[in-house]
Amino acid sequence: MDSNGLMQFAGAVASGAVRVVDLTFTLSPDFPVIVLPPEFGQAAPVRIQQISRYDASGPAWYWNNLTFGEHTGTHFDAPIHWFTGKDLPNNAVDTLPVRDMIAPACVIDCSAQAAKDADFLLTIPVIEAWEKGHGRIPERHWVLLRTDWSKKGWRDYANLKDDGAHTPGPDAAVMRWLVEERGVIGFGTETIGTDAGQAGHFDPPYPAHHFLHGGGRYGLQCLCNLDQLPPTGAVIFAAPLKIQNGSGSPLRVLALVPGQV
């Protein structure tokens, strides 16, 4: 593309011909985080501590100190996050190729199924049915699972029962297939993780993490506004913080979609 093309793109963003959709939840202390059994190390929750707010601690300026785990809020998973991706080259957020941070997306709408069944599983037949209508998923595309889970209140969003979380996600076969047969660049969800709430009981456990990161691919979770994306044609901008050897990071995820001008 020449610079004219880029300028055209910038113009289209400015005019609204290309619409920018924010797929990000506000990073706040009360947003649910992944819950592990208490004997494991826990993700530090988001904490915002005020340094000053035009007061005695800083008369003309407002600023905060932040603490949070790499996997809090709307966040990105790098291959190094899982043991299957630990030996891959450029597998951390500071070394992954920057061109991977911009890629198109296929959005699979399973909101109807998820509304009926909190344990709904995305399977190969579901995607094959989607491909009949929208064409084969091209390589190096994100696959985003729309469940409308992001519209729930936070208790229903986390949906923790005495046998663990019950939230929708992919089964093991479809994750392997998406990585090996479709060559996706990554997989994104609205739920707390890329995996289903009960995925610890799958074979292998946490198949989205297992296959995505083992194949050098990425995860996005806690996304919102997926209902504003077309099934195909959206471009995702997802650039994690450049944390040294980081396994992931909260980030701003933006989707560029054709606007109605």
**Phi and psi of 149, rounded to 5°?**
-60, -30
Residues of the shown chain interacting with other proteins in the complex, contacts defined by CB under 8 A = 29-30, 32, 35, 41-42, 44-45, 47-50, 153-155, 157-158, 160-161
Least gap, CB of 160 to other proteins (angstroms): 6
Least gap, CB of 51 to other proteins (angstroms): 11
Contact, 133 vs 105, CB < 8 A?
no
Q: Which is nearer to other proteins, 49 or 260 (CB)?
A: 49
Q: Cα separation of 136 and 8, whole Å? A: 29
Q: Which is nearer to other proteins, 164 or 183 (CB)?
A: 164
Least gap, CB of 47 to other proteins (angstroms): 6
What does the H/E/C string look like for 107-148? EEECHHHHHHCCCCEECHHHHHHHHHHHCCCCCCCEEEEECC
Q: Which is nearer to other proteins, 139 or 163 (CB)?
A: 163
Q: Which is nearer to other proteins, 29 or 205 (CB)?
A: 29
Give catalytic status of residue 75 as yes or no: no
Least gap, CB of 111 to other proteins (angstroms): 21
Q: Which is nearer to other proteins, 12 or 35 (CB)?
A: 35
Out of 71, 75, 81, 210, which one is annotated catalytic? 81
Least gap, CB of 29 to other proteins (angstroms): 4
Contact, 136 vs 87, CB < 8 A?
no
Instruction: Identify the DSSP state of 214.
Output: H
Candidates 84, 107, 102, 73; CA nearest to 248 is: 73
- Residue 234, judged by CB atoms within 10 A of its CB (0-12, 13-18, 19+), counts as buried
Kindly tell me the number of DSSP H helices and DSSP E strands found in the chain: 6, 15
What is the distance between the terminal CA atoms of the chain, rounded to a whole angstrom? Answer: 24
Q: Annotated active-site positions, please?
A: 81
